Amino acid sequence: MISLFVFIYCLVSFCYGVENNTIVIKSEQCKKFEPCWANLDTRILPQWYDEAKIGIFIHWGIYSVPGFSEWFWNNWKEKEIVIHKFMENHYAPGFTYQDFAPMFKAEFFDPNKWAHLFIKAGVRYVVLTSKHHDGFCMFPSKRSFSWNSCEVGPKLDVVSELSNAIKQVGLKFGVYHSLFEWFNPMYKEDKKNNFKTLYYPNMKLWPELKQLVNDYKPSLLWADGDWEAYDTYWRSTDFLAWLYNESPVKDEIVVNDRWGKGKLQPHKWENAFTVDKKSWGFRKTMNANDTMTIEEILQEIVTSVSCGGNVLINVGPTQYGTIPPIFQDRLLKLGHWLDINGKAIYNSSPWHHQNDSVNSDVWYTCQKTPYNVLNPTAKPLITDTIFEIFAIFLTWPVSNRLILKDVTGYIQTSSYEIELLGNDGDLWREIKNGLTYIKLPDKATVLVEYTWVLRFTPKYKTSELRKNKT
């Protein structure tokens, strides 16, 4: 699944300046946001998010007990054949979804172990499902009596436990929260009334969202389940105005674009995908070939970051609170790759070219200054200093010779050192007929096993680095 994020930018009349390698605005930002999209959409994206690039998504809840998917309850109600037969064969007549709740004990849940796994994976932020469409809250919601993780199941404030562990290791913590609930009586009444009444958002959704923000102070709020109603029903603009004006995370918070039917904006975006290709929640019938390989995961990361996006990699823990070994394997391999190649990902910016013109397996990023606060996904400006260009290639070329086109003009006009990250030495190159041919080392001597990175570093003085081609 791919989710485009809209991140909100804010400024009034301004002029540019540069401080600490960041484009800054020389006049004050709006002191108060108005509850309308035109105004909210002027908020500046918090810089931490663009620089982080990689996050972990965790779909965890009662649906982990039957172990089909996070949509289990709805699919059961819709009489999906496989689920219907499963329940008939294994559970007594009259068994309800609520009866799964006491089985969701999470007895092996160790938030510190999770946090250290995520650190080893090289991710920079973590997003937990605080409530999915079944309405079960992973925190002591004051509007979800007897249907939250403190009163039934693990008897634990999961959001608090994980939030504390994640923040202690220096990562950013965020929450996913479903706007709607499949079978909430208030929501069903509003839906029956064509969403002309607002019982559910006023009495359930708003208080719950404010409790989450005030109590746990997340750095990211990932809304979902908006598709049945317009933003006016959810009171999205009112909530976001409060979030940006008055909340304890008003300067830190990042939100996504799922706040009601509307038009996507051309801003920062995020590619959310799940390691288990068939489900976001834990699935007991998952096979090894149902999961993404590390090569597939890296392809999603590289292509997304090259085009200005972030990635949010989903894993579904078991009902016991453990992360399946196959997910751990993928995350640890990712962390090992990032230990060597992270310079091409973290804090990077899109380069003048994204996918090489003649070699579709090659994607580019760069490191540059200053940071573009107003448009972090923009290509470099003529006044920017590009001090490193990265060519990331997904497959190892035949005869150890990599062919590139889009760097040729730069290599022709300036002297560059070309290095394969993880290996030492300036690589031999030849330019012929507008193409650059780079001689790679013998693959048997290369430290990295998959998805390789070339770094192009200008050899001349930093003051001369501004000679960028546009």
All domains of the chain in start order, with CATH? 16-342 (3.20.20.80), 362-464 (2.60.40.1180)
Residue 311 in contact with residue 55, Cβ under 8 Å? yes
With contact defined as beta carbons under 8 Å apart, do 423 and 463 qualify?
A: no
Closest listed residue to residue 259, CA positions, set 197, 144, 174, 178: 178
The predicted-structure confidence for 48-85, as pLDDT tens digits, reads as follows 999 999 999 999 999 999 999 999 999 999 999 999 99
241: enclosing H helix or E strand = helix 236-245
CA distances from 226 to 251, 313, 406, 457 (A): 25, 21, 42, 46
Token pair recorded at residue 73: 């309850």
**Confidence at residue 103, expressed as pLDDT on a 0 to 100 scale:** 98
3-state helix, strand, coil in the chain (%, to 5): 30, 20, 45
Q: Which two tokens stand for residue 327?
A: 């997910």
DSSP character string of 327-368: HHHHHHHHHHHHHHHGGGTTT-B--S-SB-SS-TTEEEEEEE
- The neighbour count for residue 427, using CB atoms within 10 Å, is 15
Tokens 């830190």 — which residue?
A: 252
Q: Which residue has the tokens 């294994």?
A: 90
Q: Cis ω on the peptide bond leading into residue 350 (within 30° of 0)?
A: no
Which amino acid appears at position 125 of this protein? Y
Please state at what angle helix 206-216 crosses helix 236-245, rounded to 10 degrees: 20
Q: What is the dihedral of CA 12, 13, 17, 20, to 10 degrees?
A: -10
What is the C-alpha to C-alpha distance for residues 401 and 302, in angstroms, rounded to an integer?
21
d(CA 159, CA 74): 24
Q: Which residues of 231-330 form beta strands (DSSP E)?
A: 254-255, 269-274, 309-315
Q: From the CB of residue 134, how many other CB atoms can be counted at a distance below 10 Å? A: 24
Full pLDDT tens readout for the chain, 470 residues:
333 333 333 333 233 344 455 444 433 455 699 999 999 989 999 999 999 999 999 999 999 999 999 999 999 999 999 999 999 999 999 999 999 999 999 999 999 999 999 999 999 999 999 999 999 999 999 999 999 999 999 999 999 999 999 999 999 999 999 999 999 999 999 999 999 999 999 999 999 999 999 999 999 999 999 999 999 999 999 999 999 999 999 999 999 987 654 333 457 899 999 999 999 999 999 999 999 999 999 999 999 999 999 999 999 999 999 999 999 999 999 999 999 999 999 999 999 999 999 999 999 999 999 999 989 999 999 999 999 999 999 999 989 999 999 999 999 888 999 999 999 999 999 999 999 999 999 999 999 999 999 999 998 744 444 444 44
Res 267: pLDDT: 75
For residue 131, list its beta bridge partners. Answer: 137, 177
| Nearest partner of 454 among 408, 418, 407, 403, judged by Cα | 418
Quick one: pLDDT at residue 265?
A: 40
- Helices vs strands, H then E, count in the chain: 14, 16
Tokens linked to 84: 């219907």
User: pTM of the entire structure?
Assistant: 0.92
Query: Would you state the pLDDT for residue 152?
Result: 98
Give percent of the chain with pLDDT exceeding 90. 86
Q: Look at residues 310, 130, 159, 167 and name the one whose alpha carbon lies nearest to residue 252.
A: 167
Q: What is the pLDDT of residues 188-247, one digit of tens each?
A: 999 999 999 999 999 999 999 999 999 999 999 999 999 999 999 999 999 999 999 999
Half-sphere exposure of 20 (CA within 13 A, CB side): 3
Residue 373, SS3 per DSSP: coil
Instruction: Supply the pLDDT for residue 260.
Output: 55
